[in-house]
Structure 1
Amino acid sequence: MGKSSRRPAASRPSTADAEVPVVGQREPCPCGSGKKYKACHGRARASVETPVGRAFEGLHGEPDWVALREIVPAATATLELAPALRRKASGDQPAVDQLTVATVLPLAWPAMRRSDGQVLVGLQTGGGSGDPSRDVGTAAAAAVAAEPGTPITLTDLPAQGPRLQDVLAPDATLTVTVHDGFEFWVEGAQDLDPQVRESLERANSAVIPTVRLTGVEAAYWCQIGDRTHLRWVLPQDEDSLLDALARLHAGGRSGLGEGTRYVGAFRAHGLLVPVWDLPEGSSAEDVEEPAAEFAQRLDEALAVTEPLTYDERRARAGVVSRQLTLR
C-alpha cells in the first residue's frame, strides 16, 4: 500500500466549524483555543483535493507570488485583468480593468470591492480547494462582479472556480510594493468601520519589518526582534538547486559575506526558500551586493554537470536535513 493510500482524507468543516470566522492563517483562531488559525479551525477547512504542488506556476514572477503568500507581511501589487473579466463603466459604476493583490485584507477577507470600485484580493487567506491559485482567483472573480463596497466571503470550496492564471491578463507583470503596515486598506476611506479599525491595529502590531532587495528577484530582508535574516525564493528545479547549494556549501561559499550564515531552506508551493542569518544591525542595503555576488556563484554552480564529490554529497545531505515545508 502506498503512502498516499494510507493518508487520512481531510474533511469539510462541521457546522460548528463553519460558524468560526475565517481569519489570516497566522492569526489567533477566533474560537479562543489559543492556537493559530491554520493549526486549529483552519485545518478543518483543509482540502479534500490533492494539493497543487506549484500553484503559481506560469504567472510572471512566480517566486514573488510565493513570497507574498508565505513570508511577506504587508505588500501589494496591481495587475491587469484578463480581457474577459474586465467591466466597462456603466452609469455610476466605474470600469474595472485591473485588481490589486495584497498579502492580507481587513478581517482576512478573501477579496473586496471598495466603495471607489477598486478590487483587492488577499493572498494569505485560507482556502479549501487545495490550490491557492484557485482560491484567490475565485475570490477575485467574485469581487470583480460585486457591487462597490462589498467584501467577499467564500463559503464553498472553489473546486471548479477560475485560477489566477485565468483571471489575470497573460502579460500581467507582478511589481511588488512592500509596506510598513496595512494603511493601504483604508486609503481614501472617509469613515472607518470599527471592526476594520481593530483588525488594522492588530495587523500593524504584528508586522515584521521587511524589505525586498532591488538587485535580485524575490529576496526579502527581514528583522525579527534583534535578529536579521534574508529569505530568498528561488525558481530553479529543486534537485539542481540542491546540488548547486551543496557545491557552494562544501566550498565555503554559501554565505553572503562576513558574519553571515546559511542556515537552511524551506519548501513553499514547489519552490525552495533558502534562509541566511545576517549580522546584527545589518540593513537590506548592506546585503544587496553580497546577494548579487551569490546569485552569480549560484549560476556558476548550476552550470556544473559533474557528479557531486564526497564532500559535496555530505553537504547536500546537510542542506536537505535542514528543510521544512510550507504550503
Structure 2
Amino acid sequence: MAKKNRSKATATATPAGEVGPRQPCTCGSGKRYKACHGAPGGGQVFVKRPFEGMPSETDVVALRELVPAATASLPLTGEHAGRTVQLCTLLPMAAPALVRESGDIWLGLQVQHAFGDPARDLGAVLLEALAAEPGAGMVGLTSPPAADVPRLQDLVAGDPLKIEVHEGFDFWVADMEASSELAQALEQADGAASPTARLTEVTAAYWTRMGAKEHLRWVMPEPEDALLDALARLHVTGDDVIVPDARFVGMFRAHGLLAPVWDLEVGTGPEPLEEAATAFKAKLDEALADDSDLTTEQRSARNGLANRQVTIR
C-alpha cells in the first residue's frame, strides 16, 4: 500500500524590514523577538547606549552592573537644582527610589524595569520622587514612561560624579532607626557584597575580590570597534598585562560600553594597580590613535577578543 503524501506546512516569509517572531530580538538580549520586544508590553524602543552624554557615564554603568555598594551625590539642574539626591547602587528591597523624612531622595541604579531605556526609567522615577511629599518612602514605576519624559542625564548637571565605594550597606541605616525587617535585608545584602575598590588614577576601573579570586574590571567609553582594534594591538605585543601574573580574560558588554576584565594573582589588592593602570592607559591611548590596518596576527587576536565578550545588558 502506497504511503500517503504528507503535506508540509509552508513557513510564511517575514516581510522585508521586519523581525520574525522566532528570530533574535534586535535589542541584543539574546531572546527571540516574540519573547522580548515582540511580547505584549515589550514594544518599547531599546536604547543601546542609554547613559551616553551623562557625566561619569562609565562609572554609572559600573555602579549599575558591577559594583555592589557605592553612592554618589547627584547634582540636579534647572528647577530642581539644590535638591539633595543620592545615587545608590542598590536600595533596601531593590527599591527604585526612596523619599526620606528630610525630603532627600535616594535613587537606586540596580533596578530592572525592562522598558527599553533605563536612563528614561530612572529619569521618570526621579521626577516622581521629586514630586512626592517628604517621607513618602518607596517610589517606582508601574508602566513605561512616556517618550517625552526627560532621561536621567537631562536632569543632571554636568559635573563629574564623586563616587564613594562602601564595604557594605551600612549607609542604608546611617540616619535611620533600626528595624528587624531592615536589619534582615541589610544582613542579606552585606553577605552578597564582594570587597570592591575604585582606582583613583584612572576612570571607572574597579578592583574586586570574589571568593578566592581577584579581578580588575574597567568600563571604557571608546566605541567598541576602535577599542577592540587597540586591545588587539596591545595583545600581540604583550602589553595587555596590567601587572605581573595578571591575565586579560575578556570583556563584559553593558549599556553599549565594553568593560575589559583581568584576573589577578591572589593578594594583589588595589594599591599596585594604580600606577600600572595609568601606564596601561597611556599604551591604550597610543594604540587607539594608530589608524593603520591591522596585521594578520592582530586581526586574529581581535577575533579572539570578540569571542570573549559577555553581554550583561
Distance 1:220 1:128 in 2: 26
Q: Does 1:176 align with 2:176?
A: no
Confirm or deny: 8 A CA contact 1:110 1:139 kept in the other structure. yes
Match of 2:54 among 54, 59, 69: 59
Q: Where do residues 68-217 of structure 1 align in structure 2 (5 Å cutoff)?
A: 68-86=63-81, 97-150=83-136, 151-160=138-147, 161-169=149-157, 171-189=158-176, 191-217=177-203
How far the C-alpha of 1:8 sits from its partner, in A, is 5.8
Output the CA distance in 1 between the equivalents of 2:40 and 2:155: 24
Q: Is the 8 A contact 1:79 1:172 kept in 2?
A: no
Match of 2:214 among 228, 241, 244: 228
Matched, 1:50 2:36: no
- Counterpart CA distance in 2 for 1:197 and 1:55 is 34
- Specify whether residues 3 and 271 from structure 1 end up closer, same or farther in structure 2 by C-alpha distance, changes over 3 A only: farther
Deviations 1:123-156 (A, max 9, x none): 0011132111111111111111111222113211
Partner of 2:7: none
SS at the partner of 1:296? helix
Q: Secondary structure at the match of 1:243?
A: helix
Cα distance change on mapping 1:7 and 1:123 into 2, 3 Å: farther
CA distance in 1, matches of 2:209, 2:189: 17
| Identity among equivalent pairs (%) | 47
Verify: 1:248 aligned to 2:262, yes or no.
Answer: no
Q: State the match for 1:262 in structure 2.
A: 248
Q: 1:193 to 1:156 in 2, by over 3 A?
A: farther
Aligned residues between the structures = 283
Residue segments in structure 2 that go unaligned for 5+ positions in a row: 1-13, 25-38
Q: Give me the whole-angstrom Cα distance separating, in 2, the residues matched to 1:194 and 1:149.
A: 20
Moved more, 65-74 or 124-133: 124-133
Shift of 1:107: 0.8
1:46–1:239 Cα change, 3 Å: farther
> Structure 1 residues 293, 4: CA separation in 2 closer, same or farther (over 3 Å shift)?
farther
- TM-score scaled by length of structure 2: 0.85
- In structure 1, what is the equivalent of residue 5 of structure 2? none
Question: What CA deviation, in whole Å up to 9, does each residue of 1:177-208 have, x standing for no partner?
Answer: 0001111112211x234332221111011101
Larger gyration radius, structure 1 or structure 2: 2
| TM-aligned CA deviation for residue 240 of structure 1 | 0.7
Give a deviation string over 1:286-310, Cα, whole Å, max 9, x none: 1111111110110111111110001
Report the secondary structure of 2:258's partner residue: strand
Change (3 A) 1:240 1:46: farther
